[in-house]
Amino acid sequence: MDFDVNYLLAQWPALFAGLLMTLRVSLLAIGFSLLIGVLGGGVRALRVPLLGPAVALYVEVIRNTPILVQLFFIFYGLPAIGLELSLFWSGVLCLSLWAGAYQVENVRGGLATVEWGMHEAAFALSLRPWHYFCLIALPIAFRTSLPAMLNTAISLLKNSSYLQAIGLAELTFVAVDRIATDFRALEMFSAICVLYLALVALLALAAGRLAAHLQRPFRP
């Protein structure tokens, strides 16, 4: 079996469109999942009554069920009770909820490393609890949990390929769609493997730059 590079070059526009869709879904979902993570992690760390256990249950449910079933539940199940979302937003919602559960744990882990002395110092400076959380605890927690957050973001990017199953035209969907007509599985799958690896590497690079930036000493 020969490897046809020209075929890949001819298919590049379709692959590029898929790549853009993957990026769009993933970046939106990474943003939303971080939001869920910060809110949920804060609720967990501050032991808010009722909300804390609710967040814990959400995390357990997401972590102990397959993402594919979650996706089908959101895309096919929710419209059955009147909650209709478009293909794109179903995908974003699924990925955000999935990664959000992991980000909650990441943020909670980061918040747990913030020393209690910080809290006392903030209290002595008469900062409100809200200010303490946003200005002191969260920035410190963010630095410690950045590697874990990056891992979750990378998993999210890889899991965006599950959206192929509901028919969102992202990278994997494009590849499988082309294979169904042209039977060029080797070329297509090699190409999308390389593209996914490149996306993961880019994301890791960006997070590395951010971590280096945060490591620099503070100068007013």
Q: Which residues bind other proteins (CB under 8 A)?
A: 1, 60-61, 63-70, 72-73, 76-81, 158-162, 164-165, 172, 175-176, 179, 183, 185-186, 189, 192-193, 196-197, 200
Helix (H) or strand (E) holding 48: none
DSSP conformation letters of 200-218: HHHHHHHHHHHHHHHHSPP
Whose Cβ is closer to other proteins: residue 141's or residue 203's? 203
Cβ at position 146, least distance to other proteins in Å: 20
Cβ at position 183, least distance to other proteins in Å: 7
Whose Cβ is closer to other proteins: residue 32's or residue 173's? 173
Cβ at position 152, least distance to other proteins in Å: 14
Q: Are 155 and 30 in contact (CB under 8 A)?
A: no
Whose Cβ is closer to other proteins: residue 82's or residue 217's? 82
Cβ at position 213, least distance to other proteins in Å: 25
Cβ at position 149, least distance to other proteins in Å: 18
Q: Output the six-digit token pair for 74.
A: 């959101």
CA–CA distance, 170 with 154 (Å, rounded to integer) = 16
Helices (H), the chain: 5-45, 51-63, 67-72, 78-80, 87-112, 116-124, 129-131, 138-159, 171-182, 185-215
Cβ at position 199, least distance to other proteins in Å: 10
Whose Cβ is closer to other proteins: residue 16's or residue 73's? 73
CA–CA distance, 44 with 183 (Å, rounded to integer) = 50
Whose Cβ is closer to other proteins: residue 111's or residue 203's? 203
Burial of 78 (0-12, 13-18, 19+ CB in 10 A): middle
DSSP conformation letters of 82-102: T----HHHHHHHHHHHHHHHH
Helix (H) or strand (E) holding 219: none
Whose Cβ is closer to other proteins: residue 45's or residue 59's? 59
